């Protein structure tokens, strides 16, 4: 079976070499929204018109990372360095085609020697922006599915788990639970039927890591899920994708179809007795369905509400069966780990957090987009070096990580090396990887209010503290943002934060106060500035009293 993969890879290689030039147009959601679809059509037409079909081909690829400069186009002329064009418009297409044989179009060219590209270490995103996500052959040509075949033919399930444990991989959804340990517990649970679930219900405002991976390299998820299925003894997997990601769903569907046809999913994978099927389930717009027990309820067709844990899904999950739930990015790291070994992966990162992490840079930063860096990279490097600094005038004020469950890290802590523990120590969390950079014009009270509004409207309503507590906290923050706060409000706010954090049923409620607590911790003075000033009346009364005496 491995030979067949090599054959496909070799054919693909030959096919690619037939063309002197390959034009890659980014077809991920970011560039698509700035008309990269039309640009690709224009390239097709232009090439046909110029009669260079035999020498040049156009491909749609996944996300190239530098979303701020989209639509992005690369030209690979079989030379060591690609040419990257930024902010390409339909009118620019003839120029680019004409420049194929000569010098690149200078006015559109974006240097690939900038830190944004140089400082990254791509493991999860190794194929993003390089392969056409709608063709399984291109994935196979880049060692795709070799890890799965190796796992099911040469390794025992416990060998696979050992590699994951050795890699030190931790859950990339935000919690940071050791993935190897999770796999071990599910593998050990009793049960004839087990399930693997890929949690692609990415909902944090400003986060788009999972979407990009699904759109740019969907086969990687399927391979990771199949390996997980083999390791824990499951033959059915579900990908729970939020309904707001139509492109990701379409590409995933295509990928599942292709993988089935190539015998990489389905019954008797690669000629072995191992069966693994994957189905897609769509979310209907509830943030809380990213919480694992709510997600399971949603797949079961019930109202998407969490239930108290324990029992954990590893023991009692989908339809009462042991269930492994991993985030997209976690599963995307599995194939490279199995392919290269756990120790290879563990060489990246810090002592407690191994490997690399994908971050979605958003907010007031120059290079908004998707990056992947080793754990332990400092925030300063991420923001100023890779991110290119602050886009507006002024300095960085704070960085919001972890979405509505996270907190704001003030600029004073920019030299923090990013890992699970260091961010937690600062009162924030790693989260799924959203990183919103805020400049000096941002009001921290407004930030807290925004996230509280988010939690308030996304609370499922099952438990009292989260359902009602978030409303009261939002109302108080709203008062502050209107500069009508009082000392009593502040006391009540802190009381509610403590109560909601400690008594809520699920992670949504337990972490909902985090944006408030972290802004109170570092930017308390801004709250003070939003209070009603001491009434002038106090002095007047004193004066009148003096006069009366």
Partner 1 sequence: MKRPFKTRIKTLKIDGIDVGAREDETLLELAQENDIFIPTLCHLEGVHDIGGCRLCLVEVKGTNKLLPACMTYAEEGMEVTTNSERLQMYRRQVLDLLFSERNHVCSVCVSNGHCELQWLAGKLGISHVGVPYLYPQLSVDASHRFYIYDPNRCILCTRCVRVCDEIEGAHTWDVMGRGTDCLIISDLNQPWGTSDTCTRCGKCVQVCPTGALFHKTKAVAEMEKRRDFLPYLRTMREGRK
* Binding interface with partner 1 (CB under 8 A): 286, 303, 307-308, 456-465, 467-472, 475, 492, 495-496, 499, 502-505
Pull the structure tokens for residue 143.
Answer: 């060692």
**Which residue number, 4 or 307, has a Cβ lying nearer to partner 1?**
307
In which region does residue 349 sit, left (phi positive, over 0), alpha (psi from -120 to 50) or beta (all else)? left
Task: Please state the φ and ψ torsions of residue 126, each to the nearest 5 degrees.
Answer: -60, -30
**Which residue number, 226 or 297, has a Cβ lying nearer to partner 1?**
297
Whether the Cβ atoms of residue 145 and residue 5 lie closer than 8 Å to each other: yes
**Which residue number, 378 or 503, has a Cβ lying nearer to partner 1?**
503
Give the SS3 label for residue 124: coil
- In the chain the first and final C-alpha atoms are separated, in Å, by 103
Q: Is 198 exposed, middle or buried (0-12, 13-18, 19+ CB in 10 A)?
A: buried
- The minimum distance between CB 296 and partner 1, in angstroms, equals 15
User: 401: which strand partners?
Assistant: 407, 435
DSSP element (H, E) containing 261: helix 246-261
- The minimum distance between CB 285 and partner 1, in angstroms, equals 10
**Which residue number, 146 or 504, has a Cβ lying nearer to partner 1?**
504
- The minimum distance between CB 467 and partner 1, in angstroms, equals 5
What lies within 8 Å, CB to CB, of 351 at 6+ separation is none
- The minimum distance between CB 323 and partner 1, in angstroms, equals 19
Whether the Cβ atoms of residue 446 and residue 521 lie closer than 8 Å to each other: no
- The minimum distance between CB 498 and partner 1, in angstroms, equals 9
**Which residue number, 241 or 294, has a Cβ lying nearer to partner 1?**
294
Distance CA 517, CA 494 (A): 8
**Which residue number, 29 or 288, has a Cβ lying nearer to partner 1?**
288
With both helix axes pointing from N to C terminus, report the angle between 328-340 and 146-154 in degrees, rounded to the nearest 10: 60
**Which residue number, 436 or 500, has a Cβ lying nearer to partner 1?**
500
- The minimum distance between CB 305 and partner 1, in angstroms, equals 8
- The minimum distance between CB 468 and partner 1, in angstroms, equals 4
The three-state (H, E, C) secondary structure of 522-546, written as one string: HCHHHHHHCECCCCCHHHHHHHHHH
**Which residue number, 271 or 308, has a Cβ lying nearer to partner 1?**
308
- The minimum distance between CB 452 and partner 1, in angstroms, equals 12
**Which residue number, 189 or 262, has a Cβ lying nearer to partner 1?**
189
Give the SS3 label for residue 409: strand
- The minimum distance between CB 207 and partner 1, in angstroms, equals 21
Pull the structure tokens for residue 352.
Answer: 């407690």
What lies within 8 Å, CB to CB, of 199 at 6+ separation is 173, 240, 290, 292, 295, 325, 326, 327, 328
**Which residue number, 382 or 452, has a Cβ lying nearer to partner 1?**
452
- The minimum distance between CB 294 and partner 1, in angstroms, equals 12
Q: Which of 464, 488, 458, 461 is nearest to 476 (CA)?
A: 488
User: 361: which strand partners?
Assistant: 369, 435
> CA 541, 542, 544, 549: dihedral to nearest 10 degrees?
140
C-alpha triplet 179, 147, 17: angle, nearest 5° = 135
């Amino acid at each position: 079976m491995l030979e067949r993969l090599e054959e496909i890879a070799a054919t693909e290689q030959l096919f690619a070499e037939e063309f002197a030039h390959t034009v890659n147009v980014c077809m991920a959601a970011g560039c698509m929204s700035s008309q990269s679809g039309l640009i690709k059509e224009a390239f097709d037409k232009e090439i046909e018109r110029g009669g260079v079909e035999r020498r040049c081909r156009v491909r749609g690829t996944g996300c190239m990372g530098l979303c701020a400069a989209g639509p992005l186009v690369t030209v690979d002329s079989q030379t060591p360095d690609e040419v990257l064009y930024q902010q390409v418009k339909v009118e620019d297409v003839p120029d680019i085609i004409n420049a194929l044989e000569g010098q690149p179009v200078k006015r559109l060219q974006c240097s690939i020697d900038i830190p944004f590209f140089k400082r990254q270490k791509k493991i999860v995103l190794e194929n993003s922006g390089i392969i056409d996500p709608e063709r399984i052959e291109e994935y196979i040509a880049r060692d795709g599915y070799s890890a799965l075949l190796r796992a099911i033919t040469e390794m025992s399930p416990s060998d696979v788990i050992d590699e994951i444990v050795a890699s030190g991989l931790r859950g990339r959804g935000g919690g940071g639970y050791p993935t190897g340990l999770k796999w071990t517990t599910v593998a050990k649970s009793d049960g004839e039927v087990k399930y693997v679930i890929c949690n692609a219900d990415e909902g944090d405002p400003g986060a788009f890591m999972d979407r990009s991976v699904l759109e740019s390299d969907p086969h990687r998820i399927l391979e990771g899920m199949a390996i997980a299925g083999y390791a824990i003894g499951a033959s059915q997997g579900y990908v729970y994708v939020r309904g707001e990601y139509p492109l990701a769903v379409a590409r995933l569907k295509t990928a599942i179809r292709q993988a089935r046809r190539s015998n990489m999913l389905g019954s008797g994978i690669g000629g072995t007795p191992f069966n693994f099927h994957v189905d897609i389930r769509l979310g209907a717009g509830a943030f809380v369905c990213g919480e694992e027990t709510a997600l399971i309820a949603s797949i079961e067709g019930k109202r998407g509400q969490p239930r108290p844990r324990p029992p954990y899904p590893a023991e009692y999950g989908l339809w009462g069966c042991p269930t492994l739930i991993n985030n997209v990015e976690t599963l995307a790291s599995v194939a490279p780990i199995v392919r290269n070994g756990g120790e290879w992966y563990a060489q990246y990162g810090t002592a407690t957090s191994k490997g690399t992490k994908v971050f979605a840079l958003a907010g007031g930063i120059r290079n908004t987009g998707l990056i992947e860096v080793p754990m332990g990279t400092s925030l300063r490097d991420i923001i100023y070096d890779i991110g290119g600094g602050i886009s507006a005038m002024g300095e960085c004020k704070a960085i919001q990580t972890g979405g509505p469950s996270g907190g704001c890290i003030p600029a004073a802590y920019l030299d923090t090396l990013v890992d699970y523990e260091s961010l937690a120590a600062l009162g924030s969390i790693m989260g799924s990887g959203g990183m919103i950079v805020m400049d000096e014009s941002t009001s921290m009270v407004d930030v807290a209010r925004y996230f509280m509004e988010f939690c308030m409207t996304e609370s499922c309503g099952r438990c009292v503290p989260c359902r009602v507590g978030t409303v009261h906290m939002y109302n108080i923050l709203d008062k502050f943002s209107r500069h009508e706060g009082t000392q009593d409000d502040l006391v009540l706010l802190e009381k509610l934060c403590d109560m909601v954090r400690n008594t809520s049923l699920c992670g949504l409620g337990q972490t909902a106060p985090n944006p408030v607590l972290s802004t109170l911790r570092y930017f308390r003075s801004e709250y003070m500035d939003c209070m009603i000033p001491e009434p002038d009346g106090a002095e007047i009364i004193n004066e009148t009293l003096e006069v009366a005496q």
